Amino acid sequence: MTQFGPRHEKLLDAWATTIETNGRGNGFDFTSPTRTNVLEQKIEAFLDSPSEDEFRDVWQSELIRGAAFGGSNAVLNNWNQPIDALAEFIREIRDATSYDPSWERQIPEYVIPAVREFYGRCDPETRPILSSAAQRGLSTFGFGTVESFSDAAGALRDFQEQYCDHIGHVTAGTEHEVALSDEIEQFLHLVSTSDEAELRKTLDMAAPTYETFAGWDALQTHGNPIELHGLSTVLDSFSAASNSAAYERDTALEQWGDDHWETWKDEYCAYVFGEVLSKCDLTELQAADVEPFLDDLSVAEPLSNVIPIYLLGGRWQPWDTFQQLSTTKPDKAATVLSNLLNEDAGPLVDRLESFNDLYSELSDSGSERMSVATMLLMIVHPDQYVMYRYQMFDDFFSEFSDYSVPYGFNPGDYVLMLDALRGVQADLDTTTDHDVRMLDVHSLLWLVHRKGPP
């Protein structure tokens, strides 16, 4: 059975918190009269006095979402029998004890999704509501695309079981209680028609509680979290070398990557924590703090090169331009940098987007802007973040996953990759003698990039 991931669970948590006390919001409405109540009345009116006008009152998108595709004329113009026969067709669907696939042969193919939805809306207490939006929503939870009614209903039952296990029938017992199938259909419709920003706004998904929801849009684009494979040799080799001090300065051992000095990053971060962060409050940087903060980061020890410049790739890199832009607009830079580096300031995706907006002139390459932003994150939060460089990430994910690293500034994709790399961090931590930080993961990525897998 498909299992919900952490973003799915956070989304369900926010949904439950919202609809427990709110009967209506942007994208959902459980208040009376419900869609079901109105539809029942319209069906009765049509059956009592069949006419095209009465049918149009039934077959409208306000009651049946799928009716928007083609409208009532999609049925009426393709119905070659008297209107009384259409009324009997509607009565048969309403009163049926189970879904009859033969109904689908009496209508155009493009009307089938609306008929499946209509069947459920006639009795949401006992039937699944299989709107097209609900089926799209199911796919975002890993249930794929299904063709037949029975397969779609089966997927929805599996989803409903996990939904109830996680949050239950939330509206039950409230003043705006609706049938479980109606509650779920409205949730799936909201999910399928909203992006991450809209969902956060509608469901009040404020940070830091909902930080792990960051990257939702990228998750939907790619379908699933990134799965890494074939890593055991590189993980074992890195841990063995690290445990043998192979990445210390001037160490010569027969280990993978022993010709690379990588622990300078630990020395640099110790300097940052001891000498730089003690001078300012990163959560509330002032305009006057910006220039000295960036100058303090721009040291060459323990290397012989200015470290941010070295991390960003040496000669052709944007650090000097970044400093210049920051000191030219110190008020805005202070706000954006505080926002970026404060983990409680909001979702990582939003913090990165704010950085990109201010520093759009930094480089023609969005990937370089991403490198600068994530380098700052890694320097200040070496346990949590790893610096992004396109080619380094592409070499790693091309080797150990089916994921294709996009070029440019893609915060959601960075979050997905960060999730996968935190898994690498956790795996390394079980076999490495010291507490593994994302700095170690950066070293591993760098070695794969420079030397290839062991």
pLDDT in the model for residue 144? 66
Digit-coded pLDDT (tens) for 390-429: 999 999 999 999 999 998 999 989 999 999 999 999 999 9
- When pLDDT is averaged across residues 269-274 and rounded to a whole number, the result is 94
Digit-coded pLDDT (tens) for 424-452: 999 999 999 999 999 999 999 999 999 99
pLDDT of residue 3 exceeding 90, the answer is no
pLDDT in the model for residue 6? 85
pLDDT of residue 1 exceeding 60, the answer is no
pLDDT in the model for residue 10? 92
Confidence of residue 316 (pLDDT cuts 50, 70, 90): low
Digit-coded pLDDT (tens) for 358-380: 999 888 789 999 999 999 999 99
Is pLDDT larger for residue 304 or for residue 179?
179
Interior angle at CA 105, CA 69 and CA 61, nearest 5: 20
pLDDT of residue 207 exceeding 70, the answer is no
Is pLDDT larger for residue 252 or for residue 233?
233
Is pLDDT larger for residue 206 or for residue 97?
97
Would you call the peptide bond into 208 cis, given omega within 30 degrees of 0 as the criterion? yes
Task: Name the helix (H) or strand (E) containing 25.
Answer: strand 24-25
Digit-coded pLDDT (tens) for 48-87: 999 999 999 999 999 999 998 888 999 999 999 999 999 9
pLDDT in the model for residue 315? 66
**Among the listed residues 241, 213, 274, the one whose alpha carbon sits nearest the alpha carbon of residue 412:** 213
pLDDT in the model for residue 63? 95
C-alpha distances in Å from residue 292, one per residue of 280, 296, 330 = 10, 6, 11
pLDDT in the model for residue 173? 97
pLDDT in the model for residue 29? 97
pLDDT in the model for residue 145? 66
pLDDT of residue 223 exceeding 80, the answer is no
Digit-coded pLDDT (tens) for 127-162: 999 998 888 888 888 876 667 899 999 999 999 999
Asked if residue 223 lies in contact with residue 141, where contact means CB atoms within 8 angstroms, the answer is no
**Among the listed residues 261, 317, 265, 310, the one whose alpha carbon sits nearest the alpha carbon of residue 447:** 261
Average pLDDT, the chain: 92
C-alpha 243/C-alpha 435 separation (Å) is: 11
Point out which residues pair with 25 in neighbouring strands: 28
pLDDT of residue 317 exceeding 70, the answer is yes
C-alpha 211/C-alpha 14 separation (Å) is: 12
pLDDT of residue 235 exceeding 90, the answer is yes
Asked if residue 118 lies in contact with residue 89, where contact means CB atoms within 8 angstroms, the answer is no
C-alpha distances in Å from residue 188, one per residue of 163, 182, 183, 196, 266 = 11, 10, 9, 14, 46
Digit-coded pLDDT (tens) for 78-91: 999 999 999 999 99
